[in-house]
Structure 1
Amino acid sequence: MSEELDVRSAVKETLPTVFGYIGIGVAFGVVGRAAGLSPWLIFLMSLIVYGGSAQFITVGMLASHSPILSIVFSTFLVNSRMILMSMTLAPYFTEYSLGKNLWLGTLLTDESFALAMNKLNFTDRRLSFPWMNTTNMISYSTWVLSSFLGAILGNFIGSPEKLGLDFALMAMFIGLLILQMISDRKMNLNLQFILVGITLALIYVGMIFIPVNLLIVLVTLLGCGIGVVIKHAFF
């Protein structure tokens, strides 16, 4: 990554994540097609809902004829982590209008958030609307188009797992995590490894007692709290 915050640098730095979007987007399209959704309905869902995990859950619940309110509530719970992410990035865009901030928050994803947090290590803790908007738009357009492609290919692909498409998103997150850890010049590397281990342990234990829809949000809040305590006590 560079210290530039223009459109060109955003394109260059976002392109590596595109392959992850393509893999999981195609997988979603195939799954949606297998559930009986038309390619155009899958396209509209990606265009409007724009939430990878939420869309997978929605397709599954639609296939099982779940009530609409249950689908809406589940989608809200799964995507509620975006509230925390948006609040984390908001202080870096105070110079821009409310409309621009709402636009950035609407198209924010886990991947673009991770890229933004990593970018802060190279720009003296600064972000710009052109850079963030370009990152979001590349992610958005790639997701919509790849899910539509997957819906078309769904007539020929029986199971995305056979092609390893189900692992694409996980692989991308692992890569983004590693980049974030090695690039953060202000955070002790040992502290980061400790927090990763604690997070994994919390998720492992939490899956036994807590519904998956709530687990991500609860572990995020608890992990942040533990991280603050450990940092101030030992680092």
Structure 2
Amino acid sequence: MDHQLDQHTAVKETLPTVFGYLGIGIAFGVVGRASGFSPWLVLFMSLFIYAGSAQFITVSLLVSHSPIISIVLATFLVNARMILLSLTIAPYFKQASLAKNIFLGTLLTDESFALGMNKLNFTQGRLNFPWFNTVNLLAYATWNIATLIGALIGNYIADPQQLGLDFAIIAMFIGLLYLQVSADRSLALSLQLLMIGLTLALSYFGAVFIPSNLLIIVVTIVGCSCGVFIKHRFYPGQTTSH
């Protein structure tokens, strides 16, 4: 097995993202407990829903006694982007069994996807099941432990927003973006910065017209389409390693 794609390497490369999982996971646990749910029910939600933003929405909908179908549809819409992310990583696991592919897709997160895309810069465009599965499992375990911690201490925290835990996930993605840009030599830096600026603009102005649960999907599709056009129109000599 390539030492760059083994479990030990996966653990080391996932550890920097753990703080993001801890921050937002504890915040969810606190919010869930403050909403009147028992620590074990809060943990159960993390174990079986395992979707940060969707879990916050689920708690608010349950508290407001919304119909089950509304909760299911809201959760699906918020996490529909995972379909796009799964389709993106699927080609790298053609040699893996269907069961392994399903397992990877089930535990896939925005963070593990970002780590995977960044990893391609160092492995000549290759990924394997042991590395990616370790990333996913470490993220899953951390998220659930953080949720339980938050639920257990929830009674002692009146306002979780005062801790600034909601910014942890944003800070983590800023770090992942920096690593991606600094490591990717297959695309011109100017092209990458241009696409970052375009994505920010699309997100900012799109938030005015597009529902928040669809914004990520729309920006992803529009941004990728613009990126392909700009790359082939203004950077014809650029080739990607993956």
Q: Indicate the TM-score class for this superposition, using the shorter chain for normalisation.
A: over 0.9
Q: TM-score, normalising length from structure 2? A: 0.95
Verify the 8 A CA contact 1:22 1:142 in the aligned structure 2. yes
C-alpha distance in 1 between matches for 2:206 and 2:71: 22
Q: Which moved more, 1:57-66 or 1:99-108?
A: 57-66
Write out per-residue CA displacement over residues 180-206 of structure 1, whole angstroms, 9 at most, x where no aligned residue: 111111011111111111111111111
Which residue of structure 1 aligns with residue 113 of structure 2? 113
Ranges of 4+ aligned residues in structure 1 off by more than 6 Å: none
C-alpha distance in 1 between matches for 2:139 and 2:126: 21
Verify the 8 A CA contact 1:43 1:144 in the aligned structure 2. yes
Write out per-residue CA displacement over residues 162-221 of structure 1, whole angstroms, 9 at most, x where no aligned residue: 111110011101111111111111011111111111111111111111110011111110
SS at match of 1:202: helix
Write out per-residue CA displacement over residues 29-53 of structure 1, whole angstroms, 9 at most, x where no aligned residue: 0011111111001100000000001
Instruction: Tell me how large the CA RMSD over aligned residues is.
Output: 1.0
C-alpha distance in 1 between matches for 2:194 and 2:160: 34
Q: Mind listing any 5+ residue stretches in structure 1 that lack a counterpart?
A: none
C-alpha distance in 1 between matches for 2:189 and 2:221: 21
- How many residue pairs get matched? 234
Which residue of structure 2 aligns with residue 100 of structure 1? 100
**In the TM superposition, what is the alpha-carbon distance from 1:3 to its structure 2 partner?**
6.4
Which residue of structure 2 aligns with residue 133 of structure 1? 133
C-alpha distance in 1 between matches for 2:172 and 2:3: 23
C-alpha distance in 1 between matches for 2:4 and 2:196: 29
Write out per-residue CA displacement over residues 39-71 of structure 1, whole angstroms, 9 at most, x where no aligned residue: 001100000000001101111111222221111
C-alpha distance in 2 between matches for 1:61 and 1:193: 38
Which residue of structure 1 aligns with residue 202 of structure 2? 202
Which residue of structure 2 aligns with residue 14 of structure 1? 14
Write out per-residue CA displacement over residues 69-105 of structure 1, whole angstroms, 9 at most, x where no aligned residue: 1111110011110111111111111011000000000
Write out per-residue CA displacement over residues 115-174 of structure 1, whole angstroms, 9 at most, x where no aligned residue: 000000000000111000000000000001100110001010111211111100111011
Which residue of structure 1 aligns with residue 222 of structure 2? 222
Partner AA of 1:221 in structure 2: I
C-alpha distance in 1 between matches for 2:65 and 2:181: 42
SS at match of 2:65: coil
Which residue of structure 2 aligns with residue 190 of structure 1? 190
SS at match of 2:50: coil
Which residue of structure 2 aligns with residue 83 of structure 1? 83
Verify the 8 A CA contact 1:3 1:122 in the aligned structure 2. no
Partner AA of 1:233 in structure 2: R
C-alpha distance in 2 between matches for 1:185 and 1:66: 49
C-alpha distance in 2 between matches for 1:3 and 1:178: 24
Which residue of structure 1 aligns with residue 24 of structure 2? 24
Residue 168 in structure 1 maps to residue 168 in structure 2: yes
C-alpha distance in 2 between matches for 1:159 and 1:43: 20
Q: Mind listing any 5+ residue stretches in structure 2 that lack a counterpart?
A: 236-242
